[in-house]
């Protein structure tokens, strides 16, 4: 076995007193966002180099890789969702990193690409997560997942033109998204906006339901304290409806 020389990891002087106990956390700096923190990014890159240098020496690794690639190379479709006479579904040709969202304007028409997350990042690690088509089939609200994170950015797409609208919603984490019947907006779940530079350290608590009306900024979204309930009829949450409680 080759000798592994690990990169040095700096320690910082971070000490907190929690519940009467003094806790030292010298690696707190590694909790910063690797996407925009150069120091954390460099640390991850150096760790990957060490890991890959070792894995590349393992005998038979290519055999397993090639066999798994062969087994995974087949077309995959999800069950279509019918909205406003249109049919929405996810498709993977076989070896694509991410599933692609397609729409058919009728049963007999050809499918066309609505959202292809494979074009979002060079490493293919940015994915289309939760999504939902409006009842009239005119819009799709969808969540962007970066690098496998639970955190999402929610966007809206015009199905007719294929253009992404200016609507953008942050601070969502594994959100539930449900359109209202007239397609003018949707309910979604999100967490409070974290303090500056603390997005990765913020607690996962106080998740709240908000309502977003199309064409308005997130700052105008209304927090909902009851009155509606969301009901989903599929595990992928692509078939969800909002009902008003009376």
Query: What is the domain class of 74-244 according to CATH?
Result: mainly beta
Token pair of 114, please? Answer: 């609505």
Q: What pLDDT score was predicted for residue 245? A: 42
Q: pLDDT at position 63, please?
A: 94
The reported pLDDT for the residue numbered 118 is 95
Calculate what percentage of the chain has a pLDDT beyond 70.
Answer: 86
pLDDT band at 236 (very low <50, low <70, confident <90, very high): low
On average, the pLDDT of the chain sits at 88
Q: Would the pLDDT of 192 be above 90? A: no
CB-based contacts of 158, cutoff 8 Å, min separation 6: 138, 139, 164, 165
Q: 11-22 pLDDT, tens per residue?
A: 999 999 999 999
- What are the structural domain ranges in the chain? 15-58, 74-244
pLDDT at position 195 is: 72
Query: What is the mean pLDDT of the segment spanning 13-39?
Result: 91
The model carries a pTM of 0.78
């Amino acid at each position: 076995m080759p000798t592994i020389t690990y990169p040095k990891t700096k320690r910082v002087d971070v000490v907190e007193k929690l519940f009467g106990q003094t806790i030292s956390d010298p690696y707190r700096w590694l909790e910063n966002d690797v996407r925009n923190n150069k120091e954390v990014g460099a640390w991850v890159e150096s760790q990957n180099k060490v890991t890959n240098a070792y894995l590349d020496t393992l005998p038979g690794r290519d055999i397993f890789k090639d066999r798994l690639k062969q087994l995974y190379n087949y077309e995959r479709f999800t069950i279509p969702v019918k909205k406003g006479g249109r049919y929405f579904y996810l498709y993977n040709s076989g070896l694509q990193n991410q599933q692609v969202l397609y729409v058919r304007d009728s049963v007999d028409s050809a499918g066309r690409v609505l959202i292809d997350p494979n074009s979002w990042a060079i490493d293919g690690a940015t994915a289309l997560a939760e999504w939902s088509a409006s009842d009239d089939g005119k819009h799709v609200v969808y969540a962007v997942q970066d690098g496998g994170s639970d955190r999402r950015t929610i966007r809206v797409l015009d199905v007719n033109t294929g253009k992404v609208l200016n609507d953008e919603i942050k601070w969502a984490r594994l959100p539930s998204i449900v359109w209202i019947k007239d397609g003018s907006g949707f309910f979604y779940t999100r967490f409070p906006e974290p303090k500056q530079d603390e997005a990765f350290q913020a607690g996962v608590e106080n998740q709240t339901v908000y309502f977003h009306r199309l064409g308005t900024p997130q700052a105008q979204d209304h927090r909902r304290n009851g009155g509606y309930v969301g009901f989903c009829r599929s595990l992928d949450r692509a078939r969800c409806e909002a009902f008003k409680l009376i």
